[in-house]
Amino acid sequence: MPDPTPTPPPAPAPKDNRSTLNQDWINSLNNAGKVVAAAQKAEYAPVFATGGITADKLTALATDIAAALALAGDATTARATLEAAVKSIIARRREIQFAADAQWPPSNPANAGIRREFRLSPDKAMK
């Protein structure tokens, strides 16, 4: 005689878990930190200053990155607070990258090294 109790279907695997999401944020923050560190080099200061990206803005962004990394490591942090911080940092990182992309275009092979410092493709324009 067959078992009258139906077997429930298996639960679908979760799409993302918090640790994966936090690791993605941490990776984005670390990447932003590298971009800011490259932009803070003295030889690049005049280039960014003409675009309105001052040393003070870069310092503030570096401070925000450090604070967001601390939040990302704290499991009790409100997700919305961390998410907002990461979005703000990524937007400002992209501003720096767009300025670098304009200053050192991919059409000039001599710019490849500088473009890599800013985490830009050495041979493709930023989108």
SS3 of residue 107 by DSSP = coil
Give the model's pLDDT for residue 7: 61
Q: Tell me the domain boundaries of the chain.
A: 35-117
Quick: pLDDT tens for 25-74. 788 888 888 988 988 998 988 888 887 888 898 999 999 888 888 877 66
Return the pLDDT at 84. Answer: 85
46-55 long-range Cβ contacts below 8 angstroms, 24+ apart: 47/99, 47/100, 47/103, 48/96, 48/99, 51/99, 51/102, 53/95, 53/96, 53/99
- Residue 4: predicted pLDDT: 61
Please say if the pLDDT value at position 6 is more than 70. Answer: no
pLDDT of residue 3: 58
Task: State the average pLDDT for the chain.
Answer: 82
Q: Has residue 15 got a pLDDT over 60?
A: no
